[in-house]
Amino acid sequence: IFVGTWNVNGKAPPTDVENLKRWLNCSDEPPDIYAIGFQELDLSKEAFIFNETVREAEWQKALEWSTHPKAKYRLVGIVRLVGIQLAVMINYTHFEHVSNVAVDYVGTGILGKMGNKGGVAVSFQLHNTTLCFVNCHLAAHVEEVERRNQDYNDINTKINFKRHPQAIKDHDQIYWLGDMNYRIRRLDTHEVKKHIAMGDLNTILCHDQLNQEKERGKILAGFEEGDINFQPTYKYDVNSDRYDSSEKARAPAWTDRIFFKGKGIYQQLYRSFMELKISDHKPVNALFRSEIGIVNREKYRRIHEDLLKSMDKLENEFLPQVTIDSTDVVFDTVKFREPQAKDIIVANTGMVPVDFKFIQKNDEKSYCKEWLRITPFCGRINPGEKSDIRLEINLEQALQSLDDILVLHLEGGKDLFITVSAKCQRSCFTMSVSTLCRCPVPILNLTPEQLKHAENGQSQVLYSVPRELWLLIDFLYRKALKTRDLFESSALHEEMKKIRECLDSGTLDQISDSPYAVAESLLIFLSFTKDPVVPYHLHKRCIEACESFAQCKEILEQFHKLERNVFLYVCMFLQDLLKYSVDNGLDCHGLSIIFGDILMRTPMRNTPKPHCRKKTRFIEQFLTNDLSDLIQVNKQ
């Protein structure tokens, strides 16, 4: 890498580029990279204020003519702030390995932009090594050491390439060049010149402000510089090798310097070049052998793939894993409102905690059917631990069999399918009134054929109300007219179960011993008939008509005959019950609330119940008015 710096004092390039060539060709082999920094490229007002100059193009052309003849170069990046310019060129055979080029500048003059002091930088990546070149021109005058330190630090910290690597310090290799403008301290012009004449540079170098400031840790921390074996490069009379002979007679100084920082940089040359005399500065250049990291594609690829493989392996190993003791849960024959439960055991056999959750299938509303309950339906299991999940079924519909597939999803992992199935035993509960009125024998004794015909309404109507309803009400007529709190105290599950079995199979003459169980069974029977006793489509009209018995009666005529029978049969029974209210403590309003809610239930279970008061009122009409004319019609 050839790094050069030259304060050209606003001069145009020489017309004869011979000396320029000699400066830039200091080795037999062509450098791979040229980084050339100029200062005071243009001292005109235009350059100063508008940052415009013709010099840039002129000098760039001159450089292009003068680079090493054994190679062709391409520009990597060029950046200029007023007169501070930096161009980086690379042997074009390397150009394809250059990437990520960025430039930036920092002005340290007024407003940070105007003025001719500051720094410019070019950053790029060559193969796998990031390089940064900085060219600066710091504040002038002997006494401005602090100012120069500050300029340096401003440039060093404020240059920002707005991508990675961002700051100067983030690069693998940094080359810092420029007119640093540090002078010689406590030696007057005369003394300096004397030492130079004697060839004693070391004495002067001891008084070099830059070396002193660097030693004090104020600037260029970590940077190295080659040994200076050339005489001070400033300030000369133009077109001569004579130091400033003007009245000011400034003391000569090594204002023009090159530093480097980073791994694998070996300096081979550090010199000034006396033959270029157009400026009051002599150009300085260094030559470096710098190690550039080259990616071995094959190796990179292999490592890349191996890495991905081991990441896949890790990822797969750390996926959540569970086993389930049974993925096929079969329940015993399910009967109406006789809940059954089974537990499945989910064991975390993986390496990570598992968050599980039952998820919906496709477009279904819930993660399981309405007859199933899963507790818990989501949760966490730690590695090596197990969790019981309870599946509970409760049948309240007329279904022949229960089938569901549950999808147990492990967060971030697989899904497991669990099938749940059961056969159902049919029951008179959940049947329609129409079917029951057509059944010649108890429901469990029906042949499939008989059931089918009863269900689709093909067979004859045999009873005006379902036989089962009659059995329940008849029992209450006989045994419970004077029983207190009839519809309010709940019965034992066992008693209820016995009644259901009895009604479904017709095995016993006496369906129960307990009036309470029979009363509750009646409520359940009416609650689970396939359709509400008062047809749903008439509910709205019933509610509107609830204050007028005449209108209520009209609506009753809209009922199907069998539902109408059931409705009147129940109401009559309730009227009869109320005759004994002194004994049984029942009152009309209370019964109307209970039966309004049941006889006029909405098809959807577990939904809010609207218009309760009006439904109560509708029933009340039929419990307080004389129904005999309606029944007369019925009997015909």
Partner 1 sequence: MENMATRTQTAQRPNGSAQGKICQFKLVLLGESAVGKSSLVLRFVKGQFHEYQESTIGAAFLTQTVCLDDTTVKFEIWDTAGQERYHSLAPMYYRGAQAAIVVYDITNQDTFGRAKTWVKELQRQASPNIVIALAGNKQDLANKRMVEFEEAQNYADENTLLFMETSAKTAMNVNDIFLAIAKKLPRNEQASGASASGQGRRLAEGDTGARAAGSCCK
Show the beta-strand stretches assigned E in 31-163. Answer: 33-39, 73-81, 84-91, 98-107, 118-126, 129-137
Give CA torsion, residues 242, 245, 249, 252, to 10 deg: 0
* Token code pair at residue 404: 């569901």
Binding status of residue 413 toward partner 1 by CB under 8 A:
yes
Q: State the nearest-atom distance from the C-beta of 294 to partner 1, in Å.
A: 9
Site string for partner 1, 582-621 (x = CB under 8 A): ----------------------------------------
Q: How many CB atoms lie within 10 A of CB 442?
A: 17
Binding status of residue 305 toward partner 1 by CB under 8 A:
yes
Beta bridge partners of 357: 378, 409
Binding status of residue 351 toward partner 1 by CB under 8 A:
no
Binding status of residue 304 toward partner 1 by CB under 8 A:
yes
Name 566's Cβ contacts closer than 8 Å, sequence gap at least 6. 433, 465, 466, 469, 533
The DSSP call for residue 33 is: E
Q: State the nearest-atom distance from the C-beta of 127 to partner 1, in Å.
A: 7
Applying CB under 8 A, among 311, 330, 461, 508 the residue interacting with partner 1 is: 311
Residue holding tokens 């109320």? 578
Distance separating alpha carbons of residues 86 and 99, to the nearest angstrom: 18
**Closer CB to partner 1, 137 or 171, in the complex:** 171
Applying CB under 8 A, among 50, 65, 266, 417 the residue interacting with partner 1 is: 417
Question: Do 122 and 101 touch, CB atoms closer than 8 A?
Answer: yes
Applying CB under 8 A, among 401, 419, 460, 558 the residue interacting with partner 1 is: 419
Q: State the nearest-atom distance from the C-beta of 405 to partner 1, in Å.
A: 7
Q: How many residues touch partner 1 (CB under 8 A)?
A: 41
- Strands in 98-107's sheet, in edge-to-edge order, are 98-107, 118-126, 129-137, 173-179, 256-262
Site string for partner 1, 115-154 (x = CB under 8 A): ---------xxxxx--------------------------
Distance separating alpha carbons of residues 487 and 473, to the nearest angstrom: 13
Q: State the nearest-atom distance from the C-beta of 35 to partner 1, in Å.
A: 16
Distance separating alpha carbons of residues 316 and 336, to the nearest angstrom: 46
Residue holding tokens 């300030």? 235
Binding status of residue 414 toward partner 1 by CB under 8 A:
yes
Contact range with partner 1 by CB under 8 A, out of 79-87, 302-310, 511-519, 545-553:
302-310
Distance separating alpha carbons of residues 426 and 443, to the nearest angstrom: 7
Contact range with partner 1 by CB under 8 A, out of 38-46, 274-282, 306-314, 477-485:
306-314
Name 258's Cβ contacts closer than 8 Å, sequence gap at least 6. 3, 5, 175, 176, 177, 225, 226, 270, 284, 285, 286
Q: State the nearest-atom distance from the C-beta of 96 to partner 1, in Å.
A: 5
Binding status of residue 327 toward partner 1 by CB under 8 A:
yes
Applying CB under 8 A, among 4, 10, 37, 77 the residue interacting with partner 1 is: 77
**CA–CA distances in Å: residue 501 to residues 188, 438, 493, 495:** 124, 19, 12, 10
Distance separating alpha carbons of residues 357 and 288, to the nearest angstrom: 65
Binding status of residue 330 toward partner 1 by CB under 8 A:
no
Q: State the nearest-atom distance from the C-beta of 301 to partner 1, in Å.
A: 7
Binding status of residue 405 toward partner 1 by CB under 8 A:
yes
Q: What is the largest CA-CA distance in the chain?
A: 147
* Token code pair at residue 110: 């007024």
Binding status of residue 300 toward partner 1 by CB under 8 A:
yes
* Token code pair at residue 555: 């609506």
Residue holding tokens 């309730």? 574
* Token code pair at residue 156: 């060093």
Binding status of residue 423 toward partner 1 by CB under 8 A:
no
Site string for partner 1, 82-111 (x = CB under 8 A): -------------xxxxxxx----------
Applying CB under 8 A, among 200, 315, 485, 547 the residue interacting with partner 1 is: 315
Q: State the nearest-atom distance from the C-beta of 101 to partner 1, in Å.
A: 4
Binding status of residue 385 toward partner 1 by CB under 8 A:
no
Residues 494-533 that bind partner 1 (CB under 8 A): none
Q: State the nearest-atom distance from the C-beta of 497 to partner 1, in Å.
A: 33
Applying CB under 8 A, among 72, 169, 185, 361 the residue interacting with partner 1 is: 361
Distance separating alpha carbons of residues 259 and 38, to the nearest angstrom: 16
Q: How many CB atoms lie within 10 A of CB 363?
A: 5
Name 534's Cβ contacts closer than 8 Å, sequence gap at least 6. 542, 559, 563, 567, 599, 600
Q: State the nearest-atom distance from the C-beta of 125 to partner 1, in Å.
A: 5
Binding status of residue 297 toward partner 1 by CB under 8 A:
yes
Binding status of residue 319 toward partner 1 by CB under 8 A:
yes
Applying CB under 8 A, among 15, 229, 362, 606 the residue interacting with partner 1 is: 362
Q: Using CB under 8 A as the criterion, which residues of the chain lie in contact with partner 1 when the complex forms?
A: 76-77, 95-101, 124-128, 163-164, 295, 297, 300-301, 304-305, 308-309, 311-312, 315-316, 319, 327, 361-362, 405, 407-408, 413-417, 419
